[in-house]
Structure 1
Amino acid sequence: MTKVNFKLSPVALGERLKVVRETANITQDAAAKAAGIARTTLVSIEKGQRAARLEEIQTLSRFYGVSANSLLRRDAVHVDLVPRFRSLPETSDSGVEQAARMLNDLVKAEVELENILGVQRLNNYPAEKTILPGDVRKQAEHDAQSLRNWMGLGEGPVQNLIALLELQLGIRVYARKLDAKVSGLFAFDDAVGACVLINASHRTDRRAQTGAHELGHFMATRRRPEIYQDEKYENSREERYANAFASAFLAPARAVMEKFKELTIGSTHLTRRHIILLANYFGVSRQAMVLRLEELGLTKKGTWDWFVDNGGITDEQARQVLGSAADDPAVTDGTQSSRLFLLAIEAWKKDLISEGQMSEMLKLDRENVRELLDEAEEDEIDDLFKLPH
């Protein structure tokens, strides 16, 4: 057998082979058997101690489900988020494993589209904070307000948090239908930046809460992957910080106090109507709104528990107060992944990818992809709207 002259060093190639093997969840024993080599030989290849032969690379790439060319290209960016999530205790759940792979594949697709289109992802990341000794909730409150000021948001409600993350900060954000218990995932990689996946099956207010929670991790624990599950106990300072950050970012203290005073003036008791109007104004769930009021001392501790014990605050009650504004818009796969969609559509128009490849990249069925392409074709009806290059 002959060796091939790689543009990459054996060490760099070995690291890539290790990354794609771990991402594919394949053991060294299985990979070595597929390539017809000893496990010790594969270990040496992955460590860069022994140069891989072309035949071995081709066999391993097919077994791992990647192209040999992508492994050998010097400028290829290899996304390796899945192994990081697997290091967390939560990944024993199959739904979490699937979500981690989904995030990895979507980031990989976006990076590949950037490469073939020759575009670069720009970000506008604020400085990372450090969680200090002391009250993490006070730190989170301060950091959330500081970020709002840095972004020029003032005290008003955030109209579209996902667009804010994607377009103003440059975070890679995706929304896809996930296992119900998984709200979202966050990961950071030096090569591709910050990445967030949100469960598109959840209500709008819950998706906003998830996005703000992951923003808290981005601010203070940027280099630690994170899986957000609502039922998970706040068993760490990092989780308490992220939850407090989300609450403070979506519902700033002063704005909540002012709106609360405005809505309750002349009232002798806090009512469901007050909660519904406040939650709708700040774009958070009714539960999150009541807990925020408790936290700020605007209502007694245990108020939410009282509502739960007395029938809760129902969607029907919200419709009676808000009318059609209470109806949550239908959620479809792919919502809030605008940049990835735009890149895929542009690549398709230039015949750089097929419709089938686009479906695989976006993790959408062919029907949804066809709808996207039809909408894109309808937008190009007049030369007046052509952009200068």
Structure 2
Amino acid sequence: MSNQIRAYRDQLGFKQEELGEQAGVTRQTIAAWENGEREPSLVQLSSIARIMGVAVELLQGLELPNSRDPNSFFSSLLFRADEPSALTPTIKQHLIQKVADYAAVEKLLGEIPVSPAKFPLDGYESEVIEDYSKEVRNWLGLGESAPVGDSLSLLESKGLKVLPYPLPAKISGFSACEEDWGCLVVVNSNDVAERQFFTSLHELAHLIFHHKEYRQPPERTKSSDPREKAANHLAGAILLPKNVIRREMRAYRDRWIPDPLLIDIKRRYGVSLRTILIRAEQAGIITKQQSGTQMGVLNKKCGGKDKDLPNSEIPMPQRLTRLERLTYTALLEDEPLTISRAAEILGKKTSEVHQELQTWKQYDVEVSD
């Protein structure tokens, strides 16, 4: 048990002091539990489980009730990154728990698992992807040029399961499609906002183009893989359609694109500076050579290809997730869901869920009046 508490605490980014404060014990007590010097009571263990959003069984090193083999389930995943081995058994078990909880809440409310329309694409065809991006934008309700904004919320509005989760740095995200649970997109919550947006749409592209591969796990993928290029291109085309790039940059055709313009477009469209340069090349505004040269200069200014220019950050929107909305709706409709179970599903304190439920009830009364 001690190793399991430490494993999940480390994975979810809790410090001993923080966990102890929320659980009502000292840091030394947490350390003693993790070192095997003492054992938490069942009440204390349940409290820790709720705080971290982890099932008590997982902290005890047990299998979840009605659990499935994590290796079997995760064999159907199509990873964006080429390091699937970075998903430890701890991460796998916790993600299975979270997806199972999500599916259980959907079932309570009669929600049908959703999958995007399939458009099989075996290779990389840029013009086909550009054309199809218009259909995807229409499906998302964006029209020809509207900014995507928070793509995580947008995908959730279509009924897809989206889970921000603190993944290892080697993995930006991944997706899965399972018959009973529908489609799932996981994004690395440690990443900056624009990368999470891009990742969610990249995984949407995999669900659209490569749906058949979820039952036939691909070999370890690389960035040069046609499937990855196709997914990257569709994500970029959804975020920044060619007509937007051409309108925004028409005065800079075959010219150096200034940093202030790149930052302005980034903030308005929620897309990284490097994606803007790639889209400018794909739209014919600048050449591939210029795109590469300007990308190299940008990387040098930023101190690395995974960093960005100072003062260009995009704040992550504060929002209710679809899972939160469904969970509170289930509580309001007197579905067989207890507040303690809702707290476990949402990874919140029971008192916090109870307080938020009162706010939902008050709003529901005001709307009814």
Q: Partner of 2:211: helix, strand, or coil? A: coil
Match of 1:209 in 2: 198
Letter in 2 for 1:158: V
1:186 aligns with 2:175: yes
CA-to-aligned-CA distance 1:10-66 (integer Å, 9 cap, x gap): xxxxxxxxxxxxxxxxxxxxxxxxxxxxxxxxxxxxxxxxxxxxxxxxxxxx99634
CA-to-aligned-CA distance 1:202-228 (integer Å, 9 cap, x gap): 2111110111101101111124349xx
What pairs with 1:17-28 in structure 2 (closer than 5 Å)?
A: none
Partners of 1:156 and 1:283 lie apart in 2 by: 12
* 309-318 vs 245-254, which moves further: 309-318
Match of 1:47 in 2: none
What pairs with 1:303-318 in structure 2 (closer than 5 Å)?
A: 303-310=294-301, 314-318=308-312
Question: Cα distance, 1:107 vs. partner?
Answer: 1.8
Partners of 2:352 and 2:242 lie apart in 1 by: 42
Partners of 2:84 and 2:165 lie apart in 1 by: 21
Question: Cα distance, 1:374 vs. partner?
Answer: 2.1
Query: Does the Cα contact within 8 Å between 1:185 and 1:225 map onto a contact in 2?
Result: no
1:244 aligns with 2:242: no
Partners of 2:323 and 2:121 lie apart in 1 by: 33
Q: Partner of 2:213: helix, strand, or coil? A: coil
1:157 aligns with 2:123: no
What pairs with 1:165-314 in structure 2 (closer than 5 Å)?
A: 165-168=155-158, 170-225=159-214, 233-261=222-250, 264=252, 269-299=256-286, 300-302=290-292, 303-310=294-301, 314=308
Question: Cα distance, 1:250 vs. partner?
Answer: 0.9
Structure with higher Rg: it is 1
How many residue pairs align between the two structures?
Answer: 294
Letter in 2 for 1:379: W
| Residue in structure 2 matching 1:371, options 346, 352, 361 | 352
Match of 2:96 in 1: 104
Query: Does the Cα contact within 8 Å between 2:202 and 2:232 map onto a contact in 1?
Result: yes
For structure 1, the residue ranges without an aligned partner over 5 or more in a row are: 1-61, 72-77, 227-231, 319-325
Query: Does the Cα contact within 8 Å between 1:187 and 1:223 map onto a contact in 2?
Result: no
1:361 aligns with 2:345: yes
Match of 1:343 in 2: 326
Q: Partner of 1:201: helix, strand, or coil? A: coil
Q: Partner of 2:260: helix, strand, or coil? A: helix
Q: Partner of 2:248: helix, strand, or coil? A: helix
Match of 1:8 in 2: none
Q: Partner of 1:270: helix, strand, or coil? A: coil
Partners of 1:281 and 1:139 lie apart in 2 by: 26
Partners of 1:212 and 1:83 lie apart in 2 by: 25
What pairs with 1:54-133 in structure 2 (closer than 5 Å)?
A: 65-67=63-65, 82-86=71-75, 93-95=85-87, 97-115=89-107, 117=108, 119-122=109-112, 125-132=115-122
Percent identical: 22
Relative contact order (alpha carbons < 8 A, sep ≥ 6): 1 or 2 greater? 2
Question: Cα distance, 1:336 vs. partner?
Answer: 6.2
Question: Cα distance, 1:310 vs. partner?
Answer: 4.4
> Given the two structures, how large is their TM-score scaled by the length of structure 2?
0.67
Say if 1:82 and 1:162 are closer, same or farther in 2 by CA, change over 3 A: farther
Partners of 1:79 and 1:142 lie apart in 2 by: 40
Match of 1:48 in 2: none
Partners of 1:383 and 1:153 lie apart in 2 by: 30
Partners of 2:136 and 2:308 lie apart in 1 by: 33
Letter in 1 for 2:344: E
Say if 1:202 and 1:110 are closer, same or farther in 2 by CA, change over 3 A: same
Question: Cα distance, 1:379 vs. partner?
Answer: 3.4
Q: Partner of 1:101: helix, strand, or coil? A: helix
Q: Partner of 1:214: helix, strand, or coil? A: helix
> Given the two structures, how large is their TM-score scaled by the length of structure 1?
0.64
